[in-house]
Structure 1
Amino acid sequence: MLLASTRAACSSAGFARRAASTIALKYSNAVFSAALAKSPQVLNKVQTELNTISTSIKEVPELNTFVSNPTLSAADRTSGLSAIYSRAEGAGAKKEPVTDITKNLFAVLSENGRLGETQGVIEGFNELVAEYKGELTVTITSAAPLPKDAQTRLEATLKQSQAAQKAKSLKVENKVNPAVLGGIVVDFGDKTIDLSVASRVNKLNSLLQQSV
């Protein structure tokens, strides 16, 4: 049933999200191409750096404020970028210099007033790396954590899809968002399958408004 719904129910919300991230994807493609042109090893290192930065921005309020404020002075931007690079270097014995590719990315984002696109750029980069490596990440969003047996059944069903069969590996993630109310939203590749209660409520509201 899920596969049948999957084929029939591609949500317009997925297309809207991708359209909104067009600017970020331009940077994602640029940094991916630059890293891969160096070597697969550099690509992996840049990915590690960017994911570390992404986590730091989520966990450190000052960094979150930094990337979200387009009105900072040049001096403040320089100081903020140094803090970002310091996070990407890691800590202790594992501390390594940040690649020029990562530094160049953030320098350009800063100069163009696009630091607010940071998370979108990193997400797009990770998607490109996953595609390059033949990995497929499926994100299942639900109002509450899925029971293990339900997630296992979903994984088994998803593995039968054409997209999963073409991939070298399949990774399934469960994200919780109370706003979906019930049901699930499945994101994989460039598709979004909205089987949530919230989507049904929105459709009902739209129909009611049209009939008034």
Structure 2
Amino acid sequence: MADDSKASNVGERYAQALFDLANDEKTVAAVEADLKSLKTALAESRELKLLLASPAFSAEDKAKGLAGIAAQAGFHATTRKFLGLLAANGRASALASVITGFEALSAAARGVVAAKVTTAVPLTAAQGKGVAAALRQALGKDPEIETRVDPSILGGIKVQVGSRLFDASLRSKLDSLKFALKRA
């Protein structure tokens, strides 16, 4: 666990540095859009995850890989330079935590709160608006919602805001019932 904490701390420091730079250059929106594209690529590409995490690839290889992705996607110059710096410093494996940290800093600067909503089936537009309204009322801030579908929760909803998790999924209720029956 200490290694994860260390990587997260490194990611947070790099995220803060990137946010400060992007804020000074008035390019926060462009950099955030680039990072969201990278986040999607990380989620979908096993090869990219392997490139960034594996010690078998040198910092130079990682820098070339990230530069290629950035050039192909047409990333902003600030993002491209940052990715090169991250790889050159041997911190490419912290990219996911950098993205998470940057998104949190950007949301805080805009006065919104990030929320991750997980459901067993995709939300309809009306359900999405209902969740957004409930979060807005509960948090007192506009929510920026990232939705995810996870059939393993069986039904219900899970909402994570920061470190707080509201779990009203059928899976957790069944697990609680199973635990209670084992104790009886």
Q: TM-score, normalised by structure 1?
A: 0.68
Q: C-alpha displacement at 1:155, in angstroms?
A: 2.8
Which residue is 1:13 aligned to?
none
User: Across the two proteins, how many residue pairs are aligned to each other?
Assistant: 181
Mark the CA change 1:22 to 1:45 in structure 2 (over 3 Å): closer, same or farther: same
Please state whether the residue corresponding to 2:29 is helix, strand or coil. helix
Which residue is 1:107 aligned to?
85
Which residue is 2:33 aligned to?
48
Is contact 2:159–2:166 with CA below 8 Å preserved after alignment? Answer: yes
Which residue is 1:194 aligned to?
167
Mark the CA change 1:142 to 1:102 in structure 2 (over 3 Å): closer, same or farther: same
Higher relative contact order (CA 8 A, sep 6+): 1
Report the Cα distance in structure 1 between the residues aligned to 2:88 and 2:103, rounded to whole angstroms.
Answer: 21
Please state whether the residue corresponding to 1:159 is helix, strand or coil. helix
Report the Cα distance in structure 2 between the residues aligned to 1:205 and 1:116, rounded to whole angstroms.
Answer: 38
Please state whether the residue corresponding to 1:160 is helix, strand or coil. helix
Does residue 1:137 correspond to 2:143, yes or no?
no
Please state whether the residue corresponding to 2:137 is helix, strand or coil. coil
Does residue 1:203 correspond to 2:180, yes or no?
no
Please state whether the residue corresponding to 2:123 is helix, strand or coil. coil
Calculate percent identity across the aligned residue pairs. Answer: 29
Q: C-alpha displacement at 1:192, in angstroms?
A: 1.7
Aligned AA (2:171): A
Name which of 119, 127, 139 aligns with 2:104.
127
RMSD between superposed Cα atoms in Å = 3.2
Report the Cα distance in structure 2 between the residues aligned to 1:69 and 1:62, rounded to whole angstroms.
Answer: 10
Deviations 1:76-119 (A, max 9, x none): 234223213313535xxxxx5x22x652355335533x423322
Q: C-alpha displacement at 1:178, in angstroms?
A: 1.4
